[in-house]
Amino acid sequence: MPSQERVELPGRYREKMPGATASGPVDSSEIVRVTVLLRRREEAQTLSAEQFAYRGPDARNYLTREEYGRLYGAAPADIAKVEAFADEYGLTISDRSPARRTVALMGTAGNMQAAFGTSLENFDSPSGSYRGRTGYLTIPANLQDVVAAVLGLDDRPAAKTHLRRARATTSGLSPALVAEAYGFPSGATGAGQTIGIIELGGGYAPADLDTYFSGLGIKTPTVSSVSVDGGANQPGVDQDSDAEVMLDIEVSGAVAPGAHIVVYFAPNTDQGFYDAITIAAQDTVNKPSVISISWGGPEDSWTTQSAAAMLQACTDAAGVGVTVTVAAGDDGASDGETDGKLHVDLPACLPSAIGCGGTTLKISGQTIKSETVWNDLSSNEGATGGGVSNIYPLPSYQASAGVPVQPETKFVGRGVPDVSGNADPETGYEVLVDGSNQVIGGTSAVAPLWAGLIALINQQLGKPVGFVQPALYQIGESAFHDITTGNNDGYQAAIGWDPCTGLGTPNGVALLKALQGLGSAGAA
């Protein structure tokens, strides 16, 4: 093996999972696949999603996928350095993507350990067994400014679903009825749009989808799947993951039945999560205009480098006109952590994503009777996530929103969520999962609900809104139902934006009209 000066790869320090115990070293002949994320081209290092903010229907605020890859992808010289490194350590290249700035490497665990200066062990934890590492990674010094992240050596679970099942006696709401109550545009179906859905497990049965949509009197939307890193549509293995997949498809499909729904299945690892988002965003075949994500985990459970990679993934999506809607979590202001502190969920806290919080919605006919912050923590039934990030600073589009400093750290951070929708499982959605009728809520339902609305709006505008967050905050209360009652056991609802329900729940027609009128007095 070559001997050369090596440096620590910053931001990749790992500790074992809470409660985990080592069960032995990884077999040195085991095949391991990693994704090496490279820096952007040197002239594009300061890229920000703000560059691609929606400015109105007459302004082109995004690039084609080909343009984006050419301007902001990896430089050929950087890819060549990683290829040479792989050859030196006996690793093979299974894929390279200049647009996604990734090189996928495969090799034995023994060679991977030598290449990245680490030791891999098998661990048993309360969350299951995984291949893991502790401490830092190292890389040759000539790659120090080239490599942004190395994902995949450690395959511990990166995220969990954000859904909650209702009690057995609860009757649910049709997603279409909720859309009507929120005033979604009635003359649109999402035709011509593609909704991408990220799934880290589970699967769907086409027969179930036919049964479900037939019961709604809707033609079954076109649904297809894409395998990422060996992930696949596998219904019947894990009912909770199946419930997530079916909830996401059925809610978005009921709202936008004319859209093509593409489900990107990936392993539940930081590598799989990152690869799924970037593959969906850069998909030149299906070309989704909106991506829905209902998985996540506390932001401080991610390594610094993994969190930065996720931010880059969603920023890249913004660059090609793709909106990313993300569930804000179902465990209130703690995000399920037991340290007594406030936490927000990632990727909902990413400034380039739309964080989606949850409400308790009561409808009379097709009209909203009442709506409050969803909080059933006292009954152990969940609550909307929300709060202030300790990692990502306050984005400019929230500068006038009244986001408080993080109460414990005083960090001036990104406020979560941006928007909300019905999430209380006791006012949840009627769905069909593995042949069983169920009522499911959680912010997992809000991300696909908003993805469906974005698809309808994109159809009506004739172009994708893409990075629409600055426009949402500019439009403000005129297109939202402001939720002013309730809390998430850490933050209180208030007039205007708050860390429970964000700007509020949508008035779909009003939002469409506001977006149509934005920039009409001289768009660039």
- Domains of the chain: residue spans and CATH: 6-39+75-151 (no CATH), 163-517 (3.40.50.200)
Q: What pLDDT is attached to residue 32?
A: 97
Annotated catalytic residue within 248, 330, 371, 424: 248
Mean pLDDT in residue range 38-60: 86
- Percent of all residues in the chain with a pLDDT value above 90, rounded to a whole number: 91
For 325-334, what is each residue's pLDDT tens digit? 999 999 999 9
**Burial class for 95, CB neighbours closer than 10 Å (0-12, 13-18, 19+):** middle
pLDDT above 70 for 521: no
pLDDT above 90 for 11: no
What's the CA gap between 511 and 502, in Å, rounded?
A: 15
Confidence of residue 514 (pLDDT cuts 50, 70, 90): very high
Mean pLDDT in residue range 474-479: 95
Q: What pLDDT is attached to residue 520?
A: 58
Annotated catalytic residue within 97, 301, 306, 444: 444
Confidence of residue 524 (pLDDT cuts 50, 70, 90): very low
Catalytic annotation on 43?
no
Polymer length in residues for the chain: 524
Confidence of residue 73 (pLDDT cuts 50, 70, 90): very high
Q: What pLDDT is attached to residue 1?
A: 47
Q: Write down the mean pLDDT value for the chain.
A: 95
Q: What pLDDT is attached to residue 2?
A: 53
Q: What pLDDT is attached to residue 167?
A: 82
For 158-211, what is each residue's pLDDT tens digit? 999 999 999 877 789 999 999 999 999 998 999 999 999 999 999 999 999 999
pTM for this prediction: 0.96
Annotated catalytic residue within 244, 275, 345, 498: 244
Q: At what angle do helices 206-216 and 239-255 cross, to 10 degrees?
A: 40
SS3 78: helix
Confidence of residue 121 (pLDDT cuts 50, 70, 90): very high
Confidence of residue 43 (pLDDT cuts 50, 70, 90): low
Question: What is the tally of helices (H) and strands (E) in the chain?
Answer: 11, 27
For 85-94, what is each residue's pLDDT tens digit? 999 999 999 9
pLDDT above 90 for 4: no
Mean pLDDT in residue range 292-313: 96
Confidence of residue 12 (pLDDT cuts 50, 70, 90): confident
What's the CA gap between 445 and 440, in Å, rounded?
A: 8
**Burial class for 170, CB neighbours closer than 10 Å (0-12, 13-18, 19+):** middle
Q: What pLDDT is attached to residue 45?
A: 67
Q: What pLDDT is attached to residue 13?
A: 86
